[in-house]
Amino acid sequence: MSRGLLTGVTLTSTRTTAALLALLTLLGAASAAAAVPDARIAIDGVDVSSSGPAVGERTALNVTVSNSGGSPAAADVTSVRLLDAGDEDDDDPRDEATAVGALSAGDATDVVLWTRFDDPGEHRLTVEVVAEQESTGGDDDGGTVTVTRDAIVDVQPAEVALDVRTRALSPEDLQSDDDEQSAGGINVGGLEGVFGGGGGGLQTDEGDATESVRAADSPVAVTVVNTGTSTADRVSLTAVGTPVGANDEGSETEPAVDAGPFVVEDVAPGEERQVVIDLGPLGERSDVTVTAAFRSRPDAQAGAGANRTASSTLRYPPREGDPTVTDATVETTPDGRVIVDANLGNAGTGELEGVVVSVAGADGVEPTPAGREYFVGSVGAGDFVAFDLRTAANVSVANELPIRIAYTERGVRYTETATVALPDAGDGGEGSGGAVGTLGALGVIGVVGGAGVAVAGSVIRRRDV
């Protein structure tokens, strides 16, 4: 080996240098070909359908695949797979889309992949795209291009929750789409189901829907809302009710209502279903509990049955009127008669119809004779009507006078009892009087039906003021 003028510098022969340069050129060309294939496939984005998917919830990932506009070759996307990160060689991907289609230079396509998660927390996933690039001629015979991109999905714990809301209706509230005279009622066409109770099944999908729906005895609108993060499966409704005051008597009473089960469709998170159930004929006013039984998707995966419930309680039938006795003046006569002059007011929001007032029997008080009731008629919301009653009472025995109020509201006949104070025995005598006592509801009875009022054998009077 020769040395030049500069000490320590070795001069390599020209032939060796040329060989090294040729080798480096070949290696560089091969590296460039491997780094930048002719078909420049890219994964532009991986978007999760839900910002916070829950355990057991079916979750979609939208994958955007493109072929760069600067790519000299088209490509046929043969596979898009969703894998757990680090498992690129897994033969059992979470999901896979095949034969996606060809992409020319500058083209892009979207592919949706689906999966579920069994555990909460962060899950790192890998999207893998495999494409076959077309040959561009010459020595280029195409080839396989594989690209990957990771995505992190934050999975929330499963929350299973249903909210049941109930609203009492009257048969008149049910209407068809063609009924123009029931504004504010329930539109049958907008409901997702009408279910029969003790009175038999109701059908709204075929036949004369209007007539069958109007046959409902005691309809209740039920809204089921999924406030959780997991789908509620196999939702079914039942209704059980007992007469008002039955539990206060300390004795077991047969249910006044026992309807269902009524099957409702599955309810996804954030969705709601509204149906009408018919409680059937009721003989008296009742406290009714509507219960929704269901199970969640995690329950279904575990093989559990419909073991979750949600409920709502209402009093049926509803009452919007509120009869009240006010401004009562009570006078006694020497022959033991009592004269009551008072007003019957309606402090509620619904109209009272067929109102009849009378004196109820009590110790020292004779009830109003049959046919001698005072017929008030109708009393609108916020209105009042004057009335007077006469009966016999022993003020030395009784200190209050019970007044029975019978009225009809929304097709239901009710009877309530209020009281007014009697004058003291020492204050008796002609012209004596006493002020009204505290109003107290001694009894409330509701019977479905009986919208008419019969008052026979008496002079019916009404005195409006």
pLDDT category at 298 given cuts 50, 70, 90 is low
> What is the enclosing helix (H) or strand (E) of 111?
strand 108-115
In a domain, 266, yes or no: yes
In a domain, 188, yes or no: yes
In a domain, 25, yes or no: no
pLDDT category at 357 given cuts 50, 70, 90 is very high
Point out the domain boundary residue: 106, 132, 155: 155
Cβ-based neighbours of 133, under 8 Å, separated by 6 or more: 37, 38, 39, 73, 74, 75, 76, 142, 143, 144, 145
Point out the domain boundary residue: 283, 316, 349: 316
> Cis (ω within 30 of 0) for the bond into 255?
no
Domain span holding position 68:
41-155
The string of pLDDT tens digits covering residues 388-432 is 988 888 877 888 889 999 998 877 788 888 888 887 755 544 444
The string of pLDDT tens digits covering residues 35-89 is 445 568 899 999 998 777 888 778 999 999 999 877 778 889 999 999 998 776 6
Q: Tell whether 333 and 251 lie within a shared domain.
A: no
Q: What is the mean pLDDT of residues 347-359?
A: 90
Structural domains of the chain, count: 3
In a domain, 11, yes or no: no
pLDDT of residue 23: 47
In a domain, 223, yes or no: yes
pLDDT of residue 204: 43
C-alpha to C-alpha distance for 214 and 172, rounded to whole angstroms: 7
Q: What is the mean pLDDT of residues 283-302?
A: 80
In a domain, 235, yes or no: yes
pLDDT of residue 194: 67
For the sheet containing 194-195, what is the strand order? 162-168, 219-226, 272-278, 194-195
pLDDT over 90 for what percent of the chain?
26
Q: What is the mean pLDDT of residues 132-141?
A: 69
pLDDT over 70 for what percent of the chain?
67
pLDDT category at 150 given cuts 50, 70, 90 is very high
The string of pLDDT tens digits covering residues 151-164 is 999 988 878 889 99
In the predicted model, what is the mean pLDDT of the chain? 75
Q: Tell whether 132 and 217 lie within a shared domain.
A: no
Q: Tell whether 309 and 336 lie within a shared domain.
A: no
